[in-house]
């Protein structure tokens, strides 16, 4: 990591800029859907189902492309497609609901071309013994970004409008394109893309199979899943404005960075099995309190605590994921492993949003809480599986 400090810092900078874009296209795009569409849950579900179907298909295609070459080029292409995706939001403006399919395709393509090469960078350029420190540092800087940017974006949207704020995000995306040209090429290989053999290897490795199951569960819950969207809908209905949404997201991020620091300080080398199990259980307890004593205060507390737990679980999950992928068993098939995992991750996302679509079509708010309970319970299963993967495997 020391020998590649400049490149590492560029990757971190690219990741931070991507975080800013994701904040815009995450909670604030969700809020935009809520304000623009009377059937926001249905529209959000259709958009995400379409996006993640494209992402599922592209994940294998991109894996095939970057197996031996074009890793940096594919990553750069993902950034360029993201630029086009944001530009489409600006140009379509209030007509976006009529072109959900187009925006969803652009998002799916840009995300697959971006994250597949990015995840490969992390497996190749970071040693296992440096992974916890690197992941905490990346998460720390991302969380700082998440503290400042939501307030800024919320203020900008409130003072101006969503379209003008999108122009700022477009400029950030352009900076990403420039920075991507500063990355060093990754050495070409001459191995064939063979996902079938990789699947066989995964099936013979207990921890690798756990990673695949966790990918599906992560798609339901942690990683841009339906549960995250539901929580944004619930909190926006309480906050009522983009500025208030930005404030609560920023406050939540402050607690997230504190908890991430405490985790690094206490669990950098120690076993974290009990902690992971507890993290899987706490959300259902907090959700129960919210459902029993439903008011603005419990809504905010639920949102804050839930996102702190999700953030920490996600960080621990990422550390263990790349440690498993870096095992000698998968030394020549990391691309295939990541592609296969992406398939299950996006299948989980599609499943969650299909359930959310059914809730939206039923026009029953009670069913929304039922789905929230079901998805939150799946976090217990997630924690139970995650704790059985040794952090130092």
Q: What is the pLDDT of residue 356?
A: 92
Q: What is the pLDDT of residue 122?
A: 65
Per mean pLDDT, which range of 201-210, 296-305, 383-392 is the poorest?
383-392
123 inside domain: yes
Contacts of 229 (CB under 8 A, 6+ apart): 30, 44, 48, 353, 356
245 inside domain: yes
Mean per-residue pLDDT over the chain, rounded: 83
pLDDT at 105 over 60: yes
SS (H, E, C) 74-117: HHHHHHHHHHHHHHHHHHHHHHHHHHHHHHHHHHHHHHHHHHHH
Domain around 290: 5-182+193-386
Contacts of 374 (CB under 8 A, 6+ apart): 355
% of the chain at pLDDT higher than 90: 19
The enclosing H or E element of 214 equals helix 206-220
pLDDT at 153 over 90: no
pLDDT in tens, 332-389: 888 888 889 989 999 999 999 999 999 988 877 788 889 999 999 999 999 899 988 8
106 inside domain: yes
What is the sign, positive or negative, of the torsion defined by CA atoms of 62, 65, 68, 73? negative
Q: What is the pLDDT of residue 232?
A: 82
CATH number at residue 356: 1.20.1250.20
pLDDT in tens, 198-208: 899 999 989 99
Angstrom distance (rounded) from CA 139 to CA 253: 11
187 inside domain: no
Q: Which residue has the higher pLDDT, 126 or 387?
A: 387
- Mean pLDDT over residues 161-173, rounded? 88
DSSP secondary structure code for residue 68 in this structure: T
Nearest CA-CA partner of 120 in 174, 54, 62 = 62
392 inside domain: no
- Mean pLDDT over residues 179-189, rounded? 77
pLDDT at 135 over 80: no
pLDDT at 269 over 70: no
Q: What is the pLDDT of residue 210?
A: 93
Longest alpha-carbon distance in the chain: 60
% of the chain at pLDDT higher than 70: 91
Q: Are 192 and 319 in contact (CB under 8 A)?
A: no
391 inside domain: no
Number of domains in the chain: 1
pLDDT at 36 over 70: no
Give the side-chain half-sphere CA count within 13 A for 369.
Answer: 11
Question: 301 φ, ψ to 5°?
Answer: -60, -40
pLDDT in tens, 222-241: 888 888 888 888 888 777 77
pLDDT at 291 over 70: yes
Q: What is the pLDDT of residue 1?
A: 46
Angstrom distance (rounded) from CA 324 to CA 45: 32
Angstrom distance (rounded) from CA 329 to CA 343: 20
pLDDT in tens, 40-90: 788 888 888 999 999 888 888 888 888 777 778 888 898 999 999 889 888
Angstrom distance (rounded) from CA 100 to CA 92: 10
Angle at 78 between CA 73 and CA 80, to 5 degrees: 90
363 inside domain: yes
């Amino acid at each position: 990591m020391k020998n590649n400090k400049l490149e590492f810092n560029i990757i971190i900078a690219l990741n931070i800029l991507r975080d800013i874009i994701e904040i815009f296209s995450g909670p604030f795009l969700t809020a935009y859907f809520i304000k623009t569409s009377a059937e926001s849950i249905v529209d959000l579900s259709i958009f995400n189902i379409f996006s993640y179907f494209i992402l599922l298909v592209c994940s294998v295609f991109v894996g095939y492309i970057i197996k031996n070459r074009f890793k940096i080029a594919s990553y750069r292409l993902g950034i360029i497609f993201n630029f086009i995706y944001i530009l489409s939001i600006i140009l379509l403006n209030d007509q976006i609901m009529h072109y959900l399919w187009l925006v969803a395709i652009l998002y799916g393509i840009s995300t697959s071309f971006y994250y597949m090469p990015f995840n490969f960078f992390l497996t190749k350029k970071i040693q296992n013994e440096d992974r916890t420190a690197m992941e905490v540092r990346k998460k720390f800087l991302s969380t700082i970004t998440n503290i400042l940017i939501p307030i800024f974006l919320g203020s900008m949207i409130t003072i101006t409008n969503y379209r003008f704020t999108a122009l700022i995000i477009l400029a950030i995306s352009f900076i990403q394109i420039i920075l991507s040209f500063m990355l060093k090429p990754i050495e070409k290989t001459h191995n064939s893309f063979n996902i079938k053999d990789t699947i066989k290897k995964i099936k013979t490795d207990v921890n690798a199979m756990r990673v695949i199951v966790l990918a599906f569960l992560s798609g339901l819950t942690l990683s841009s899943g339906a549960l995250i969207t539901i929580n944004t809908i619930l909190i926006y209905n309480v906050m009522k404005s983009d500025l208030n949404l930005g404030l609560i997201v920023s406050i939540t991020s402050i607690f997230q960075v504190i908890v991430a620091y405490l985790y690094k300080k206490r669990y950098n080398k120690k076993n974290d099995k009990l902690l992971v199990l507890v993290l899987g259980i706490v959300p259902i307890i907090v959700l129960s309190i919210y459902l029993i004593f439903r008011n603005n205060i419990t809504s905010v507390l639920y949102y804050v605590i839930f996102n702190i737990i999700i953030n920490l679980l996600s960080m621990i999950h990422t550390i263990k994921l790349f440690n498993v992928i870096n095992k000698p068993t998968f030394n020549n098939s990391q691309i295939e492993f990541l592609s296969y995992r992406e398939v299950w991750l996006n299948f989980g996302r599609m499943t969650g949003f299909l359930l959310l679509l059914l809730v939206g079509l039923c026009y029953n708010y009670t069913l929304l809480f039922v789905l929230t309970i079901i998805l939150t319970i799946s976090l217990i299963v997630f924690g139970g599986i995650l704790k059985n993967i040794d952090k130092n495997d």
